[in-house]
Copies of this chain bind each other. A is one copy, B any other.
């Protein structure tokens, strides 16, 4: 991002904040409506935002830079576990997967899958977004171990994948159309807690 630096003082008309907002919003809207990342054109964004193309190029170097900013805007606030019950905290965190504050996020996420694997930048962006969330879950699991609610010999990293994976493939890929998405967090957490082996 270039604008709103600590600017000593510049002459001339200042950049419109409304234009900034409109451009970002238009980008996210178009993505959420089904445009894929590369089908997204600056021209379409400008039209949608009611803005001249030059206004976009004045702020960002190109589509990639704009996308980076737009997606950053999307990640929103992380869910905050209450800290009482380990199970309830896990249900909260699992339920928050792929469910950002911004409802457009759910539609946009699948589009990122290809980008994540092809561009190191996008991969880093993705990791930057999810690694603090992983950390949050890691802490809850560690707390569970400390409190004796969870076994001490579990593999925390694998457990995180166990909790996250089912939710993610369901939200991003609609992996199994017969699975009820709403009750899934609870059922996943309880299944992981209990295990499936007869005993």
Contacts and interface: CB of A to CB of B under 8 A. Distances in A.
Contact of A158 (B110, B123, B158, B187): B187
Contact of A165 (B111, B169, B194, B195): B169
The secondary-structure label for the interface of chain A is helix
A90 to B, nearest CB: 10
Contacts of A118: 34, 36
Most chain B beta-carbon neighbours within 10 Å: one of A111, A123, A154, A196: A196
Contact of A175 (B149, B150, B161, B176): B161
Contacts of A130: 175
A126 to B, nearest CB: 8
A176 B191 contact: no
Interface in A146-199: 148-151, 154-155, 157-162, 164-170, 172-179, 184, 187-188, 191-199
A134 B172 CA distance: 17
B157 A179 contact: yes
B197 A155 contact: no
Given A114-B110, A195-B194, A162 B176 contact: no
A165 to B, nearest CB: 3
A114 B36 contact: yes
Copies of the polypeptide in the assembly: 2
Contacts of A172: 113, 117
A114 B116 CA distance: 12
A38 interface: yes
A162 B150 contact: no
A113 to B, nearest CB: 4
Contacts of A196: 150-151, 154, 159, 192-193, 195
A5 interface: no
Given A117-B174, A161-B170, 9 more contacts: A34-B118, A36-B118, A38-B38, A148-B198, A150-B196, A158-B188, A162-B166, A164-B175, A168-B173
